[in-house]
Structure formats: C-alpha cells, structure tokens
Amino acid sequence: MDLSIIIVNFNTKDILRDCIKNIQSLSVHLDYEVVVVDNGSSDNSAEMVKQEFPSIKLIAGENVGLAKGYNVGLKNSAGNYVLFLGSDAFPKERTLDGMVSVLADDQSIGIATCKLILRNGEIDLDAHRGFPTPWTAISHFSGLGKLFPKSKIFNSYFLGDKDLTKPHEIDLCISHFMMVRRSVFEYTGLWDEDYFVYGEDVDFCFRVKKVGYKIMYLPMFEAIHYKGASVGTRKESTDITTASKETKVKMSSETTRAMKLFYEKHYKNVYPSFVTSIVLFGIEILGKIRNANRN
C-alpha cells in the first residue's frame, strides 16, 4: 500500500465528517487507506464514522493523548508513507499524490509538509518552524520575531529568512499535516508518549533530524487548516470549536508542560545550568500567564 492517512479524533464529529469527505472527493491515484483513532469522544464521533464511512478502519478507545493515538494508528496501518492528519486539515487536489511522489524520488527526505492555509487566507507558520533553542524562544516570546519577521537571527522560530514560495528544508512542522516515510520509525522509534498533546511533533522532528533525514516544506502543495478546532485555544477557532472551558484550560497547561518536557529531554545537558534555570523559570511564568488568561 502506498499511503496510510491517520486521523486522531477528539470530539470533532462534524469537522471529522468533512475531513473524510474531503479526502474521498480528491482524485488520488494512490493505493491508500484512512485510519481513524477516536480518543474517547463524547460527541458520537466513533458512531458517525462507523455508520457513514463503514470502509474506514476505526479504532475507538479511551483518551490516551495524541502521541499514543498516533502510535495506535501507525501499528494498525500498512502504507509505505504515513500522513498524520488533523481532523481540521483539508488537503487540496494533487497534494497527496504530489507529496508521495517527492518522497519517493528523494530517499533523504524523512518528513514533508505542505503549505497550510488558515481560514482567513494566511499561511499557518506553525508548519514552518525552527527548533525551540533558548534564543529562538526568547526572541519569539519577547516579540522580536514580529518586529523583524524576515530576520534569520530574530525570527528563527518561524524561519523568517526562508522563501515561503519555494521548497526548502525546515526544522519541524506540526502533526496536523505531516507525511512520514514509514521506514523512518525503524531509526527513531515511535512517537514519544510522554507528550499528551502538543510538543509530540517537535520531539519527533528533532529525532528525525538527529538520525540524518531531511524535513521539507513543499509550498506547491496545499491544505486548508481549521486551526484549534478540537482544543479551542486559538482565537481563529472560537466559532467552530466544541471544546469546553475545562478542556481549553487543560490544553493551555499542556503547551507549557510540553515545552518543559522537550527542553529537559533534549537541551538540559547541552546548555549551562544557569541557562537551564532561566529557561525553566520563563516557561513557568509563561504557563501562569496563559492559565490566568483562560480563567
């Protein structure tokens, strides 16, 4: 089989339906499968898939988090290439075929993503990121990146010096549209299940680069992204999210927990202890600010 499309769903029944319909409407010239892992949804998402899309492989269980859900989907799929797709992401024509073709032609590419377009027409820059080193994080959260958006030094968070109209190598992309060569997992291992939601993609991309694969941004292929639909933490998702206030607060906390986890796993032994102390203190303050804004 050429391609496995893995969707981990949590309470996005209506958007998930649209996501599956969009995939099925595409003129895909590949042997592909769709695997839906439902993480304990309470909105009858699993029942909807079972009734309306009986040919799709459905795995329903408790809410085990995004990384573990991806691993469940991966173990129950067979494609040579695996597209991890958010239920809020809608690939356009040629995107799936085109990206598989690029990966097939260049064995050095381990991961590829496309141009993700938000509903307001802007590019989702979270699909075009640099690794969160201490300086990258400081320049981003201090606002320097916005002041100097094209700067390699001050906007390394979004790789501001890159030409977004041309294919190029990046550090990381989000897992709402991440196409992975299956053989990569033989070298990296599975998704790190210490991450519940957020950070799992940063961690995985870091490990993929570490074993020598490239991660490519391919803007000639596109997908629409209804960002934040399942967690409700983005202002652009307020009219479509089904997330409760409790979920929004939990997800906000998870963002900073993921930051701390990533730093401790990959950077703690790289930087001096005083830098680590400053970074972890900054993450703690950021978490308190975000939680205060959610309450």
AA identity, residue 282 = G
Is 139 within a domain?
A: no
217 lies in some domain: yes
Angle at 13 between CA 11 and CA 18, to 5 degrees: 135
Q: Where are the alpha helices (DSSP H) in 152-219?
A: 185-188, 200-210
- Domain assignment of residue 49, yes or no: yes
Residue 154 lies in a domain: no
User: Considering the domain boundaries, does residue 151 fall inside one?
Assistant: no
**Is residue 236 in a domain?**
no
Do residues 83 and 222 both lie within one domain?
A: yes
Confidence of residue 286 (pLDDT cuts 50, 70, 90): confident
CATH code, domain with 219: 3.90.550.10
Question: Is residue 292 domain-shared with residue 173, that is, in the same domain?
Answer: no
Whether residue 294 sits in one domain with residue 179: no
Strands (DSSP E) found in the chain: 3-9, 32-39, 57-61, 81-85, 89-91, 109-118, 168-169, 177-181, 214-225
Do 174 and 293 fall within a single domain? no
Domain boundary among 181, 201, 228: 228
Is there a contact between 4 and 37 (Cβ–Cβ < 8 Å)? Answer: no
Residues 118 and 254 in one domain: no
pLDDT for 259 equals 94
Q: Are residues 33 and 118 in the same domain?
A: yes
pLDDT at residue number 245: 67
Q: Assess whether 218 and 249 both reside in one domain.
A: no
Question: 110 with 188, same domain?
Answer: yes
User: Do both 34 and 180 map to the same domain?
Assistant: yes
Model confidence pLDDT, tens digit, residues 194-249? 999 999 999 999 999 999 999 999 999 999 999 887 665 545 545 565 666 666 76
252 lies in a domain? yes
* Domain end call among 198, 228, 258: 228
Q: How many domains does the chain have?
A: 2
Indicate whether 32 and 178 sit together in one domain. Answer: yes
State whether 115 and 183 are in the same domain: yes
Q: List the domain range (segments joined by +) for residue 79.
A: 3-128+164-228
188 and 262 fall within a common domain: no
**The pTM of the whole model exceeds 0.85:** yes
d(C-alpha 219, C-alpha 9), whole Å: 26
Q: Kindly state the average pLDDT of the residues 173-178.
A: 97
